[in-house]
Chain A
Amino acid sequence: MALTVVSQIFPREMIPAVLPLIEDKLQHSKEIIRRKAVQALYKFYLIAPNQVQHIHDKFRKALCDRDAGVMAASLHIYLQMIKENSSGYKDLTGSFVTILKQVVGGKLPVDFNYHSVPAPWLQIQLLRILRLLGKDDPRTSELMYDVLDESLRRAEINHNITYAILFECVQTIYTIHPKPELLEKAAKCIGKFVLSPKINLKYLGLKALTYVILQDPNLALQHQMTIIECLDHPDPIIKRETLELLYRITNGQNVIVIVQKMLDYLKESKEEYAIINLAGKIAELAEKYAPDNEWFIQTMNAVFSVGGDVVHPDIPNNFLRLLAEGFDDGKEDDQLRIYAVQSYLALLKEEDALYPQKFLQVMSWVLGEYSSLVTDVDPEVILTKLHSLLKKTFVTSETKVWIMAAVTKIASRTSSSMTVDKLIQEFSNSLDTSMRQHAFELKHLCEDKTLMKNLLPFDGSCSDIVVDASLSFLDGFVAEGLGCGAAPYKPHHQRQQEKLSQEKALNFEPYGLSFTSSVSSSAVTGRQSPAGLSFGSDTSGNSAETGHKETNTLKLEGVRKLWGKEGYLPKKESKLGKENEPQTVSCGSLLGGQMDDPPVSQSDQVASLSEEDKEKQQLASTLFTGLGSNAGVSLMGKADTATQKFKRKSKINATQSSEEASDCQNSAASDFGPLLDAVPINMEDCERSINTRLRKASLCSSDIVEDNTAFEAPLSLKTSVLDDGPSASRMSESTLFDSNIEIFQPSPSAHCESASKTPLVLCLPEELEEFTHSEVVELCQSDALALHLCKVWTDDSLLLAVFVSNKTTSACNTVNLVFEETEHFQVLESPTYQFPVIEAQSVKLCQKCVWMNKFCTQGILSGSVNYQSEMETHMDFSITLSLLDFIRPMEMTTEDFGKLWLSLSNDVKQNIKMSSSEDSLSAALNTLQQKLKLHIVDLIGE
């Protein structure tokens, strides 16, 4: 009973929970339970096919079950699966054929007989499966011929249910690869059906015939007379089925008769659904096979007048398009149009005739467009008619607008007309706003005939009208309005979103991050000081994008925080995990001061890092496309092409050499920084028309991000020591370190000579070793001094450890290290540092804590060194600091995360294929980890 319930009311979410239980039940000793289990699985399959994928072979077992009931239940699953993918189950054809043979041969228990027919419904099911399998497949069909023949023969008992089987048989025979003998027999069967006096059988026969006729139209000829009889059958259902049949065999010759019959039926029928259906079919036939114009127009008129307003909107649209576009022959087109106009005029002549709205709309359109083709009718007459139509009460306002448009068109081609004037007067104070608008339009156009002619050229319906969706022609007006202090237009949803986003931004404050509030406040100021904004080519067009972008950016703040924190941790960890060996090697060699070419191991590392880079890039590009591009536009104003060029150039530069790359990157990054800040302020004037340009720009900016990250990759080869395994990795590091010293000490002079190599070993003090830190990179060097930098990520700030090494043999006096203050970064304590003296061949360390003052993705901290050896020397350097240097993983429990989850959601959907073998949790988790780059924090429960 539980299984029954499961199969009936189970929601999709609970399937995984019970699936194993039900699978167990497949082995149950009682057949009824096995069958129920199969049924339940079938239900699951219908609900969520992918969740039961792995038990397909169990279905096979069920198919071979010794109990026929279980087997029958499994057929449903197969029917469904084969319906979706027939090629996958061709190998089962043999089994199905054998089963059917057994069933037909009466091998099943007598219980399954129904009126001495063995398991009829089972047969039908099997026949359907075979039909699907054998479709367009001669080889598989081959296997079935015998059993189909057998079924046909066996089903000769005169009972309804055998007819049902026969019907399925016939359908199968005609679907699979044909075999003449069987076709003949099937045709005979159909004949029997159609000629049967029993009405139900006749219906079935017609249905079969309809199906068969697609393959073999000749069969219809044999039963011509029966079909004709059926057409006049008193039962409308039979009639309808016959019409369906006729619809299939319609061609150019018989179309008139068939459509006539259909129209007759259409006039009789009252059911809405039937009318829609039939009207569509008639229209289709009429368009396809119309023998001449008159007939076509008449038929369509009939369809419109009978079908009324329920007809599918495509029908009038298609009809009008046909009229407008015409056929190949221009003369014929004109004839068609003229005829249409004449027929409509005739129809309109009848006073008090009620026509459906859609028909009236079609009429008015045609009259408006083509009435001038008919030369013998005075336009005044047409206008009068339309006018009288307008006054009728049954005409809806939509139709009235159609008529009004027609009047406008006609008026454009005639000189001043009394009717038009009257009409204008009448409707200028109409209560219906759209009518009033049209009336005024007409009035103004009447005053300016040339404009009118230009606006409404004859037969202009086919030419495409270029619509300026951005409404850029209104720019001047808008700018003027803004100049007078008017607030810029904001669409409703944007206003709402602003409210929302403000609330959102406030939500983040408890987490102690300053930049959200700064952004939101700038957004607020941006809104309050619209006059100070630079407006692009259309402020008026800033509908969807503006609101969207704003929320985007504001959301990003939240997302990025989380992401940064979350993304930070796995990155380091994974690095530690998979690259422990190369990392230590490379770090050792780097510590040894090999700055030239990175060793092979390092390049390996870079390669393996690139995966992470990709991830980063993805993140970055998704995060910043909106920002960067938007800002690019706003900063540069209309000259944003310049930005583009600049950015392109920078991209090229970046690839040239590392030196230039860093320059370029600096410039790009410094560009990026302020741009980013400019975003919220200029958010208001992003615009639709610029959208494409935005996209281009965003491409460029994402390139830059790529460059940045690519350049950063070697920099950020973090010799990370995570909390969980600090001692181990530190040990290995230090041992390597020692060995390096040993290697280098024998030949210090050789290294001294090479400028690019550091002779001195740089190592962090003990207390800093404990934190994660980057490897040491060279900042700048001269003949005497070399500066190396190591970023140390402490818990609350970024510690810059600058090694100042004296390469000369004499001591260096008063070495001054000065960091320039920037708006983004704050150097704690004082920005300067002074070494009174640096001994010859020694290294001094300067530690500076840096905070990020103003939020940016990447920035440059530049500084300079002054020192006196033989003479006063000055040296500049710059340090690239990225956001990643400042954000720290936020520690939280799974519960906290769960709470935050909803507030920070940013849905990205992705399909992941799970192979069927992965049924265990760990395997599934592995796949998820690889594909989605998820990091497993906590497993709740088992």
Chain B
Amino acid sequence: MIKFFLMVNKQGQTRLSRYYEHVEINKRTILEAEVIKNCLSRSKDQCSFIEYKDFKLVYRQYAALFVVVGINETENEMAVYELIHNFVEVLDKYFSRVSELDVSFSFQLFGIAVGQTAVVCLCRSLLSSTLQYPSHAQKLKLTNFITVKREL
């Protein structure tokens, strides 16, 4: 089970967060800060899984951006690790060379609501708290749908 999905940059600013279990808003900030602290303290040659409190963090670093997923014991770390990559690949395809700016910019562009939708659609797989593994093509179809929306 995936508990949350975060995109945080090296400065500790959260670019995107999505929780699948209820966490209080003020606790979220604390959690995010601790998570990024944990991730930053690790070097390249250490493994990408961290045990944190009663759950595990799986993280992947893309340039200055960390994608961190919180999972519980039953989830397969490696599968989640690859899922992150899959997600980033889709973003990459859509934005043609995605960067941190795109992620934050997409929010500004669509406004929060649509931006949420965009991300929601993109990581719809992550929506229902367990993995819903979609195919590439479907994701791309969805991105097309968002493109249409943007043009409107």
Using a CB–CB distance below 8 Å, which chain A residues touch chain B? Answer: 4, 7-8, 32, 39, 42-43, 68-69, 72-73, 76, 79, 109, 111-114, 119-122, 124-125, 160-161, 163-164, 167-168, 199-200, 202-204, 207, 234-235, 237-238, 240, 271, 273-274
A471 to chain B, nearest CB (A): 43
CB distance from A108 to the nearest CB of B (A): 8
In the bound complex, what is the Cα–Cα distance between A200 and B81 (angstroms)? 10
The residues of B that contact A111 with a CB separation of less than 8 Å are 135-138
Q: Which of A7, A79, A160 contacts B128 (CB 8 A)?
A: A7
B134 touches A69 (CB 8 A): yes
For residue A119, which residues in chain B have a CB less than 8 angstroms away from its CB?
133, 135
Closest CB in chain A relative to B132 CB, distance in Å: 6
B76: interface (CB < 8 Å): yes
Q: Which residue of A is nearest B45, CB measured?
A: A199
Q: A121-B131, A167-B76, A204-B77 are in contact. Are A114 and B49 (CB under 8 A)?
A: no
CB neighbors of A among B41-60 (8 A) = 45-54
Tell whether A273 pairs with B53 under 8 Å between CB atoms, given A121-B83, A238-B47.
yes
Write out the residue numbers on chain A whose beta carbons fall within 8 Å of the beta carbon of B51.
237, 240, 274
Complex CA–CA separation, A109 to B141 (angstroms)? 15
| Residues on the A chain within 8 Å of B88, using CB | none
What separation, in Å, do the CA atoms of A623 and B49 have in the docked complex?
A: 60
What is the 8 Å Cβ interface bit string for chain B, positions 85-116, against chain A (1 contact, 0 not)? 11000000000000000000000000000000
Selected A-B contacts with CB under 8 Å, 19 pairs: A4-B127, A39-B128, A43-B128, A69-B135, A69-B138, A111-B135, A111-B136, A112-B135, A124-B76, A160-B85, A161-B79, A161-B82, A163-B78, A164-B76, A168-B76, A200-B48, A200-B49, A235-B46, A273-B52
CB distance from B141 to the nearest CB of A (A): 9
Taking the complex as formed, is B130 at the interface, i.e. its CB lies under 8 A from any CB of chain A?
A: yes
Distance to closest chain A CB from B131 (angstroms): 6
**Cβ-closest chain A residue relative to B49:** A203
Determine if B23 is an interface residue (Cβ-Cβ < 8 Å): no
Q: In this assembly, does B120 line the interface, its C-beta being within 8 Å of a C-beta of chain A?
A: yes
Residue of B nearest to A238 (CB): B47
Contact A237 B79 (CB under 8 A): no
C-alpha spacing A203/B45, complex, angstroms: 12
Are the C-beta atoms of B137 and A124 separated by less than 8 Å?
no
Instruction: List the A side residues contacting B46 at CB < 8 Å.
Output: 199, 234-235, 237
CB distance from B81 to the nearest CB of A (A): 6
Distance, CA A234 to CA B46, complexed state (A): 8
Would you call B135 and A109 a contact (CB within 8 A)?
yes
User: Do A4 and B133 touch across chains, with their CB atoms under 8 A apart?
Assistant: no
Q: What's the Cα separation between A8 and B86 when bound, in Å?
A: 23
Q: Given contacts A121-B83, A124-B76, A274-B51, is CB(A76)–CB(B132) below 8 Å?
A: yes
Question: Complex: how many Å from CA A234 to CA B45?
Answer: 10
The answer for the CA separation of A112 and B54 in the assembled complex, in Å, is 33
- Which residue in chain A gives the minimum CB-CB distance to B133? A121
Distance, CA A204 to CA B82, complexed state (A): 14
* Shortest Cβ gap from A798 to chain B (Å): 59
Asked whether A72 lies within 8 Å of B132 as measured between CB atoms, the reply is yes
A386 to B5, CA, bound (A): 53
Interface range on chain B: under 10, 10 to 19, 20 to 34, or 35 or more?
Answer: 20 to 34
Write out the residue numbers on chain B whose beta carbons fall within 8 Å of the beta carbon of A32.
138
The answer on a CB contact under 8 Å between B47 and A237 is yes
**Shortest CB–CB separation between residue B126 and chain A, in angstroms?**
11
Smallest CB separation, A843 vs chain B (Å): 77
Check B133–A72 contact: CB distance below 8 A: yes
Assess whether A160 is in contact with B78, with CB atoms less than 8 Å apart. yes
> A200-B47, A200-B81 in contact; A39/B76 too (CB < 8 A)?
no
Which of chain B's residues have a CB closer than 8 A to the CB of A121? 79, 83, 131, 133
Taken together as a complex, chains A and B put the C-alpha atoms of A120 and B82 apart, in Å, by 10
A871 to B54, CA, bound (A): 97
Among residues of B, the one whose C-beta sits closest to the C-beta of A171 is B76
Chain B positions within 8 Å of A273 at CB level = 52-54
Contacting A at CB under 8 A, from B1-60, are: 45-54
What residues of chain A lie closer than 8 Å to B83, measured between beta carbons? Answer: 121
> Is there an interface contact between A160 and B135, defined as CB atoms closer than 8 Å?
no
Bound Cα distance from A829 to B29, whole angstroms: 81
Contact B133 A122 (CB under 8 A): yes
CB pair B128 A42 closer than 8 Å:
yes
Q: Measured between C-beta atoms, what is the minimum distance from A59 to chain B in Å?
A: 15
Residue of B nearest to A166 (CB): B78
Q: From B58, which residue of chain A is reached at the shortest CB distance?
A: A200
Nearest chain-B residue to A79 (Cβ)?
B130
**Could you say which of B50, B86, B134 contacts A237, with CB atoms under 8 Å apart?**
B50
For A69, list chain B residues within 8 Å (CB): 134-135, 138
CA distance A727 to B32 in the complex (A): 77
Given contacts A119-B135, A164-B82, A200-B77, 13 further A-B contacts (CB under 8 A): A4-B124, A69-B134, A69-B138, A121-B79, A124-B76, A160-B78, A161-B79, A164-B81, A199-B47, A202-B47, A203-B49, A204-B77, A235-B45
Distance A436 CA – B50 CA, assembled complex (angstroms): 50
CA distance A109 to B136 in the complex (A): 11
State the Cβ distance, B140 to closest chain A Cβ, in Å: 9
Residues of A with C-beta under 8 A to B78: 160-161, 163-164, 167, 200, 204
Minimum CB distance partner of A39 in chain B: B128
Check A76–B137 contact: CB distance below 8 A: no
Task: Tell whether, in the assembled complex, residue B128 and residue A76 are in contact, meaning their CB atoms are under 8 Å apart.
Answer: yes
**In the bound complex, what is the Cα–Cα distance between A121 and B126 (angstroms)?**
12
Give chain A residues whose Cβ lies under 8 Å from the Cβ of B54.
273
Minimum Cβ distance to chain B for residue A209 (Å): 14
| Residues of A contacting B47 in the complex (Cβ-Cβ under 8 angstroms) | 199-200, 202-203, 235, 237-238
Q: Is B79's CB under 8 angstroms from A120's CB? A: yes
- In the bound complex, CA of A163 to CA of B133 (Å): 17
Q: With CB as the reference atom, state the residue of chain A lying closest to B128.
A: A39
Q: Which of A39, A237, A240 is most buried by chain B, counting CB atoms within 10 A of its CB?
A: A237
- Contact (Cβ within 8 A) A160 B45: no
A103 to chain B, nearest CB (A): 11
- Point out which of A39, A68, A121, A235 has the most chain B C-beta atoms below 10 A from its C-beta: A121
Q: What's the nearest-Cβ distance from chain A to residue B30, in Å? A: 14
User: From residue B133, how far is it (CB to closest CB) to chain A in Å?
Assistant: 3
- Kindly list chain B residues whose C-beta atoms are within 8 Å of the C-beta of A114: 82, 86, 136
Q: Which residues of chain B come closer than 8 Å to A240, judged between CB atoms?
A: 51
Please state if B127 and A8 are interface contacts (CB–CB under 8 Å). Answer: yes
**Docked pose: A711 CA to B53 CA in angstroms:** 66
- With known contacts A203-B49, A238-B47, A39–B132 Cβ distance under 8 A: yes
